[in-house]
Amino acid sequence: MEILIISGLSGAGKSKAASFLEDMGFYIVDNMPAAMILKFAEFCAVSNGRYDRVALVYDVRTANSFDELFDVLDKLKAMDGLCRMLFLEASPEVIIQRYKETRRRHPLRDRSDSLPEAVRREWELMQPVRDRADIVVNTTHLSTAQLRSELLSYFAAAGEKGGMTVSVMSFGFKHGLPLDADLVFDVRFMPNPFYIEELRPLTGLDQAVSDYVFSFPQTGDYLKRLEELLAFSLPLYAEEGKTSLVVAVGCTGGRHRSVAVTHALAEFIRQQGYQTAENHRDMSRSG
């Protein structure tokens, strides 16, 4: 079991971090009191793997002191599993600018004469928590994509390639381009099984059709080049912060050639370690 406690300065990006961690498979709980964290951890431990990765967004400013939180941290670290605390911060100037842009009210504004004073007081207040953090991320100069990439470097599950899901779909050009496609590849240049009478009623998932499509050298050469392109570009998409990518492969009707190539391409992407979904949009169409 892995438990992550998210804390940090107001305006430093705790909500965005929680959202990204949820994409990575963490179960997110917001504003859980320290007194309830141990009970919740015990519940997760007997959940049969349902809550193996939990991230708790904890606002320690609501507590009278940090002693309770630190006591909970010590007990969690003594339990089986992994417990860490993530602290997010940013420069006072950037936090002030973010509050001005969003027009939100700083949580300590009522106890301060000005917004800069509220930000300064929070820096001082949160220093003991920062000192106990296992990981400190400064978001001053990080874009949203860069923040996600930073979190991935610390919290991506073993074997997970950037937390990105790749959907590979086949389609027929005569039925229209997929509107959600990020990359589109055209395989209409390949010999068409439609014109082979015994292959026409079959689909690209049938071995006979696949064997026919891949019996031509240009098919294998094209697939090899697609694999090289994706092996190069997929890590860059993941690093840029994409959580999902749609790769579309089209032929005329979307029943034979595109299906066979999509199936082979999906298997390659899966072997690269990405979460992969395979979909054949037009395969069941009769015309």
Q: Residue 17 and residue 51: Cα distance in Å, rounded?
A: 19
Q: Can you give the pLDDT at residue 1? A: 85
* pLDDT at 61 > cutoff 80: no
Quick one: how far is CA 179 from the chain centroid?
21
Whether 73 is covered by a domain: the verdict is yes
pLDDT above 80: residue 7: yes
Looking at residue 59, what DSSP letter applies? Answer: -
Q: Please give the tally of structural domains in the chain.
A: 2
**In the chain, what percentage of residues exceed pLDDT 90?**
63
Structural domain range at position 60: 2-155
- Tell me: pLDDT of 143 over 80: yes
Q: Does 169 lie in the same domain as 125?
A: no
CATH of the domain at 73: 3.40.50.300
In this structure, the answer to whether residues 132 and 195 fall within a common structural domain is no
For residue 156, the model assigns a pLDDT of 75
CA distance 55 to 27: 6
Q: Is the pLDDT assigned to residue 287 strictly greater than 80?
A: no
**CA 9/CA 24 separation, integer angstroms:** 23
The reported pLDDT for the residue numbered 221 is: 96
Compute how many other C-beta atoms are within 10 angstroms of the C-beta atom of residue 62.
10
Smallest Cα–Cα separation from 236: which of 186, 161, 168, 142?
Answer: 161
Q: Give Cα separations from 97 to 11, 115, 161, 162, 174 (angstroms).
A: 9, 10, 34, 30, 51
Whether residue 170 sits in one domain with residue 47: no
pLDDT at 177: 95
Distances in Å between the Cα of 231 and the Cα atoms of 56, 225, 235, 236, 272 are 35, 10, 7, 9, 8
Do 212 and 128 belong together in one domain?
no
Q: Is residue 270 part of a domain?
A: yes
Structure tokens at 145: 């994509």
Task: Report, as an integer, the average pLDDT of 236-249.
Answer: 87
In a domain, 286, yes or no: no
- Provide the pLDDT for residue 158: 56
Distance (Å, whole) CA 180 – CA 46: 40
Q: What is the mean pLDDT of the chain?
A: 90
Q: pTM here?
A: 0.65
pLDDT digits (tens, 9 = 90+) for 150-192: 888 788 765 555 568 899 999 999 999 999 999 999 999 999 9
Contact present, 168 and 277 (Cβ < 8 Å): yes
Structure confidence at residue 203 (pLDDT): 96
* Average pLDDT of span 247-254: 97
- Statement to judge: residues 132 and 190 lie in one domain: no
* 88/59 same-domain check: yes
| pLDDT exceeds 70 at position 25 | yes
Residues 140, 170: one domain?
A: no
At 79 the pLDDT is 84
Any domain includes 287: no
Across the range 193-216, mean pLDDT stands at 96
DSSP string, 125-190: HHHHHHHH-SEEEE-TT--HHHHHHHHHHHHPPTT-STT-EEEEEEEEGGG---TT-SEEEE-TTS
27 and 142, same domain (yes or no): yes
Across the chain, which distance is largest between two alpha carbons, in Å?
A: 83
* Average confidence (pLDDT) over 21-40: 87
pLDDT at 248 over 80: yes
Q: Please state which of the ranges 59-63, 134-138, 169-173 shows the lowest mean pLDDT.
A: 59-63
